[in-house]
Chain A
């Protein structure tokens, strides 16, 4: 019944089936939206945050989605600036994922602040010294860029494309996309970084504070780097999931391998940098403030050394090496393992850089603070995922997201 909208020649599941699927996920969305309105109308007492935990699950969710959304800008950068042509076959999808991640991030921020109606003060009364100001500006600008990058793909919809104006628009936009890609890359570099800076500049929090270059602490560069490294992994992961769900091959292996390889090298180099940073922090930064590393990983019921090892070795070094190594990279199972580990790794890193910072006592007579999010917090954090699923399904169903789809799914008699 919606066949008129479906890309020419592409096979999609029946409309009722599709609707049911959407309805199920939609229910989750509604749940999240309900929680969202509770927070807006009743205030943040709906959460389990407290004065020790001013930053909590939401900020983590923000950092995490933005990190994994990094695939968009990095792939864009490679595709349009470094002209890695194969990537045109996955760039659309990378952009959609980025769009989802960033729109979610903005939404969560809008819930997270105590006075949403004053949110615009961050622009109007901006404090240039604050990393958060930098985040806000770059984030919203880059979101605009992503939207622009997304539009052509939407306009390529069978019906939209019939309108000559849209047709030309889409065409012309593709032409100038390099400009936006460049802008996007530039903006992303800064807001990914400033998100890292958010933690790094807290010189009252020895667990977070880092020395750095000019006004930017090392976490600034580590965050950008890790986003560029793990972002593509996430793009691959979601592609893999989509392929599994649709039961179709959507992107050619050489493209996958290429992106995996790039991701692998980025991860490995990042993790080396991260290890150096950790060592420097352990042996130079914190001792000068009177702390031993054990202070941050013992005497509490949750945060142990395991979290450090998991983040750096299991979910950092391992996926990195797996993706560098040709055989493991091209083996679908080990590759999947690697990208899953990688995504977990980057999320874990963001977790540590938000929640553990808050948990660690600084005053000698203070105590560890642990917190469990309220259902409202969880619901609003799950909301983006559900919303993402819906958007991806719609995009996949009605837009020519994967240029190689048709070619890869020719009906062949002998197969």
Chain B
């Protein structure tokens, strides 16, 4: 016991200082000091790492589950629902109208999700209030045309393998900024493994630098 404490004492600048200054000779106090330090450090560090994100983001369930796999089997690739309009703008989330090219208020399958869709939205002709994971703030102008047509990129490089999703994960919203968590990325440290793990400006700039040799002018992506 005391051995450890001695070690502590010698190991510690404070201790040394104390010694010379002839401060209180109570080693326990000093040991406690360090223990308190470590405990406090761990608690705060861990809560900052693990608890903080829980508080920062609010979880929101989508109106109902959407099965991308099923739909892409039925209607083909992404463009059949998320297409470019003739003026070059991007249609984004399909409107009820385009869903109803196939769907009626009579469900075609057995899933309860489709039932919800049929009753709550098709029958009532209400647009589905989807939460958009990749929603960018109002100050951002993003041209899908430039990336898909001109640069020939695929959806995955930014949106990830979403076509493989059979159910909709909950949407996480930053309580302070109102941003989708996907912008900052799942990792609170902002670490990314895949190109689609984070959608902050620097990520756009990085890719632009690589692909075009220029990180891009502000107005290219801001309005």
Q: Mark A residues whose CB is within 8 Å of B.
A: 164-165, 168
Contact = CB atoms under 8 A, between A and B. Distances in A.
A224 to B, nearest CB: 33
B11 interface: no
B21 interface: yes
A165 B14 CA distance: 9
Nearest to B20: A164
Contacts of A165: 17, 21
Nearest to A168: B17
Nearest 7 A/B pairs, CB to CB: A164-B21, A165-B17, A164-B17, A165-B21, A164-B20, A164-B23, A168-B17
Nearest to B13: A165
Contacts of B20: 164
B73 to A, nearest CB: 46
B50 to A, nearest CB: 26
7 contacts: A164-B17, A164-B20, A164-B21, A164-B23, A165-B17, A165-B21, A168-B17
Interface in B5-50: 17, 20-21, 23
A164 B14 CA distance: 11
A165 B17 CA distance: 7
B178 to A, nearest CB: 15
Nearest to A165: B17
A183 B23 CA distance: 36
A128 B17 CA distance: 45
Contacts of B21: 164-165
A257 to B, nearest CB: 42
B183 to A, nearest CB: 17
B81 to A, nearest CB: 38
A366 to B, nearest CB: 29
A130 to B, nearest CB: 15
A347 B21 CA distance: 50
A381 to B, nearest CB: 33
Nearest to A163: B21
A164 B22 CA distance: 9
A78 to B, nearest CB: 34
B14 to A, nearest CB: 8
A326 to B, nearest CB: 51
A168 B17 CA distance: 10
Contacts of B23: 164
A168 B23 CA distance: 15
Nearest to A164: B21
A164 B23 CA distance: 9
A21 B21 CA distance: 39
A118 to B, nearest CB: 13
B30 to A, nearest CB: 14
Contacts of A164: 17, 20-21, 23
Nearest to B22: A164
Contacts of B17: 164-165, 168
A164 B16 CA distance: 12
A114 to B, nearest CB: 16
A165 B23 CA distance: 11
B125 to A, nearest CB: 43
A164 B15 CA distance: 12
A248 to B, nearest CB: 35
Contacts of A168: 17
